[in-house]
Amino acid sequence: MTRDRRSGGDAPAGTPRRRLLAAAALAPVLAGSGALPGVARAAPALPGAPRRAAGTAARDADPAAPQPSHPLTTTDADWQGVADALGRTGRVMAGTVYRVGFPRRDLHVVSQGITIQPGLALSSYAAFTLYDDRQTVVRGDLVVIEAELQRATDTLHAHGFEQTAIHKHLLAHEPDVWWTHFHAAGPDAVELARGLKAALDSTATPPAVAAPATPPPLDLETAAMDAALGTTGTNDGGIYKYSFARRETVTDEHRILPSATGVTTVLAFQPLGGGRAAVNGDFVMTAHEVQDVLTALRAGGLSVIELHNHGLMDEPRLFYTHFWGVDDGVVLARALRTAVDATDTAPPD
């Protein structure tokens, strides 16, 4: 036995810290099954499975090397217990990730004279994924005001969650808002959801409300923006969004991360009238791409906000940079295209 200094206890050498936390904090397997009801046990082929991260092929060639766990295909019905525990309904994305949003509709945040809509930068989220090792992983991001940050931090820790990043997504703004990323794993998805609900309840995050059947119209030249970025955006509650996923396989502690868990570049445009927009979001990059992206953003007149990681154990190591700009939507899209082209990404399958 060796002493694991990070966990403060005795553990076999090489035991992942997250497994220690999960074993200490998470409840037994749901109804003794170790799986969500109705979930198939065979690991499906992932969309884009031929994409490989650097070093993955070498691990696969070595029988002694840990093999990556694959996410299992699930349906919305499989996650009903999670929805009940959270008091909110999400949806399965790309067949494998149950994603739930928690917009901070209670906040009135102003940055550089612009009132920030929740869909632009003020929506917490959680992404649940069931793996073929019978573990559920939840990753996500909580939006908290400064007065809530320490309380939310303590609640996450009390329920076995790791914080993997704490930073800002906006430049000068009132009130002060922070974003904290989290990660937890365990055999009981509902217990994970209960821990997350406790963290949400430590903040003033409001309860869920039904989304309008039809999103509001966009005062943007979306066709020209789509042409500039080479893909079609989505009207997400009045915010026009684009997403670009990493082409290579990304893992975290030997579990393959689908892009819907947050391993994406996101460009979000909030209409300001007359075709103008405020744009915010973040780029996902490997180390060798960082400087090219930062240079492209600045050359396009965009402000850079943060450079950081969202995870602790990802492979390849990924970095994220948040940005901001206000201009004609098409002008912004053309500037962002240069930065997108500096990364090995593509619209999700």
For residue 30, the one-letter residue type is L
Closest among 171, 174, 198 to 182, alpha carbons compared: 198
Give the 3-state secondary structure of residue 277. Answer: strand
State phi, psi for 29 to the nearest 5 degrees.
Answer: -60, 140
CA distance to 83, 239, 346, per residue, from 190 (Å): 9, 31, 33
Q: In the prediction, which pLDDT does 349 show?
A: 77
Give the 3-state secondary structure of residue 331. Answer: helix
**What is the Cα–Cα distance from 165 to 149, expressed in whole angstroms?**
12
Q: In the prediction, which pLDDT does 66 show?
A: 74
**What is the Cα–Cα distance from 116 to 321, expressed in whole angstroms?**
19
Residues of the chain where predicted confidence (pLDDT) is lower than 70: 1-65
State phi, psi for 293 to the nearest 5 degrees.
Answer: -70, -45
Alpha-carbon radius of gyration of the chain: 20
Q: In the prediction, which pLDDT does 25 show?
A: 42
**What is the Cα–Cα distance from 82 to 315, expressed in whole angstroms?**
28
State phi, psi for 194 to the nearest 5 degrees.
Answer: -65, -40
CA angle 59, 63, 21 (to 5 degrees): 70
Alpha helices per DSSP H over the chain: 17-25, 56-61, 80-86, 118-121, 146-158, 189-201, 222-229, 290-299, 329-341
* Token digits of residue 328: 């004609």
* Token digits of residue 106: 């209670």
Give the 3-state secondary structure of residue 172. Answer: coil
Q: In the prediction, which pLDDT does 183 show?
A: 98
Q: How is residue 72 annotated by DSSP? A: P
- Domain regions of the chain by residue span: 17-31+68-210, 214-349
Q: In the prediction, which pLDDT does 62 show?
A: 61
Q: In the prediction, which pLDDT does 285 show?
A: 98
Q: In the prediction, which pLDDT does 63 show?
A: 65
Contact yes or no for 69/254 (Cβ under 8 A):
yes
**What is the Cα–Cα distance from 198 to 200, expressed in whole angstroms?**
5
- Across-strand partners of 266? 243, 282
Q: In the prediction, which pLDDT does 65 show?
A: 67
**What is the Cα–Cα distance from 315 to 246, expressed in whole angstroms?**
12
Give the 3-state secondary structure of residue 82. Answer: helix
**What is the Cα–Cα distance from 315 to 256, expressed in whole angstroms?**
9
